[in-house]
Amino acid sequence: MLYMRGSKYDYDGWEEMGATKWSWNRIFSTMNDIEDAHLTGVNESLHHRDGPIAITNEGNDKPILNKFKQAIKNLGYGEADPNDGELSGVGPVQFNYYQNQRRSSYYEYLYTYHKATNPKIESSSIATRIIFDENSKAIGVEYVKDGVKKYAKARNEIVVCAGAIETPKLLMLSGIGPKAHLDELNINVIADRPVGKNLHDHVGVILPVFNKTGAGESGAVVAFLKSSESESQSDIEMFSYLEGDFVFMGAILVKAESRGEIKLRPDSPNDKPVIDPQYLTEKKDRERLAKGVQTLFKIINEIDVTETGYEKMKLPPYPVCQNISKETLEYYECLLHTLTV
Ligand SMILES: Cc1cc2nc3c(=O)[nH]c(=O)nc-3n(C[C@H](O)[C@H](O)[C@H](O)COP(=O)(O)OP(=O)(O)OC[C@H]3O[C@@H](n4cnc5c(N)ncnc54)[C@H](O)[C@@H]3O)c2cc1C
């Protein structure tokens, strides 16, 4: 698992939008406290040792990855710690991994905390509704375990963290969502909010590019770039990673403008919600990612693998784009239709 803190500008933006105490400066010390950082080549004041979650950037100093790093530097970017909050430049990936073990939040937090304090954990349970009192204050959660409906009463607070898809579903089932949609489903409206209308993802293109039989390598390097000079912040994440005998490279849209929607299923709201992703519907997203993919192909073509023992893999033909000149951005925008994941 890649350990990524994200962009300081996102945190500051969330605070500006009303999420008090979420600015980068306020959240930074919390992020530092969770780390047991085993890192080389970074500014140590940005990291911390002896926290619960071990991270490392060891194992990324591989000749083939250094070729990618150099290619990014040739574009004018410097080396950077991908977790300095700036998201600009190229550097070795930091992993939630140390001494051959994945360091997950489950083992380092829940398991350890569980052993120390023995909290009540209801596993194999599905939350079905947040319960409100007559003043619309959330006071508990209804859930189903082994087919039996149960209730948990809140002593202090309820944290809804069911993921990007199930969280809006649970909120809407509980009466927090767009009034018109909840009215259609005869759900009592507690708060009319645009829940489900902010769906977005960081889509991108990932390709296997080089291979070496028996290489059996691992490691990764990540870069954050601007698709054009006019961008105020990096809008493309580019990376190269080794997996067994293969080298993969990719370009990802950092901040999508396209917005999809999650709605409850009209005939059965408790079932899987209806997801309308709307990926790349905004022209700006297609332009940015197309420029990123154009740069990615340039890098793939320019890297000289001779000394590394790797061979370039033949990229497949893209028949739908064959009548468009490869020199144009239109060609790379066309590729997005086939290659985006
Ligand atoms: C393929 C893939 C690769 C990724 N790689 C990385 C990476 O390398 N680095 C990184 O930082 N991020 C990565 N991410 C993103 C990262 O996984 C998510 O950002 C993160 O898991 C979100 O955490 P969360 O706790 O908000 O939600 P989730 O991890 O989605 O957890 C939600 C939990 O709630 C449970 N749940 C859902 N509904 C209910 C319900 N009604 N009642 C009870 N429980 C419920 C779910 O079963 C789940 O366990 C990746 C994501 C994907 C899909």
Rounded mean pLDDT of 142-162?
Answer: 97
How far is the first Cα of the chain from the last one, in angstroms, to the nearest whole number? Answer: 18
Query: Quick one: 262 and 134 in the same domain?
Result: no
- Looking at the structure of the chain, the number of domains it has is 2
Question: Which residue lies with its CA nearest to atom 39 of ligand 1?
Answer: 162
Query: Quick one: 217 and 329 in the same domain?
Result: yes
Q: Is residue 271 part of a domain?
A: yes
Residue 4 beta carbon below 6 angstroms from any ligand 1 atom: yes
Give the tens place of pLDDT for each residue, 224-283. Answer: 999 999 999 999 999 999 999 999 999 999 999 999 999 999 999 999 999 999 999 999
The answer to pTM > 0.75 is yes
Give the tens place of pLDDT for each residue, 199-225. Answer: 999 999 999 999 999 999 999 999 999
- Predicted pLDDT at 110: 82
Distance 163 CA to ligand 1 centre (A): 5
Query: Quick one: 130 and 265 in the same domain?
Result: no
Rounded mean pLDDT of 44-54?
Answer: 92
Query: Quick one: 285 and 151 in the same domain?
Result: no
Give the tens place of pLDDT for each residue, 107-148. Answer: 888 888 778 888 888 999 999 999 999 999 999 999 999 999
Question: Rounded to whole angstroms, how far apart are CA atoms 196 and 97?
Answer: 34
- Predicted pLDDT at 76: 97
Residue 71 beta carbon below 6 angstroms from any ligand 1 atom: no
Residue 148 beta carbon below 6 angstroms from any ligand 1 atom: no
- Predicted pLDDT at 112: 82
Q: Is residue 323 part of a domain?
A: yes
Question: Which residue lies with its CA nearest to atom 20 of ligand 1?
Answer: 163
Q: Is residue 315 part of a domain?
A: yes
Residue 293 beta carbon below 6 angstroms from any ligand 1 atom: no
**What CATH code is carried by the domain that includes residue 86?**
3.30.560.10
Choice from 166, 237, 262 to test ligand 1 binding pocket (greatest atom count within 8 A of CB): 166
Report the half-sphere exposure of 189 (CA within 13 A, side-chain side): 14
Say yes or no to pLDDT of 100 above 90: no
Looking at the chain, the whole-number percentage of residues with pLDDT higher than 90 is 89
Q: Is residue 23 part of a domain?
A: no
- Predicted pLDDT at 207: 97
Range of the domain at 186: 122-163+165-192
Q: Is there a contact between 236 and 178 (Cβ–Cβ < 8 Å)?
A: no
Query: Quick one: 71 and 209 in the same domain?
Result: yes
Q: Is there a contact between 289 and 251 (Cβ–Cβ < 8 Å)?
A: yes
Question: Rounded to whole angstroms, how far apart are CA atoms 98 and 53?
Answer: 9
- Predicted pLDDT at 115: 83
Mean pLDDT, the chain, rounded, equals 95
Distance 161 CA to ligand 1 centre (A): 9
> What's the gap between Cα 96 and its chain centre?
14
Atom of ligand 1 nearest to the CA of 126: 42
Q: Dihedral sign for Cα 214, 215, 218, 220, please.
A: negative
E-assigned strand segments in the chain: 35-38, 53-56, 89-92, 97-98, 101-102, 125-132, 138-145, 148-153, 176-177, 191-192, 204-211, 217-225, 236-244, 246-253, 261-263, 274-276, 311-312
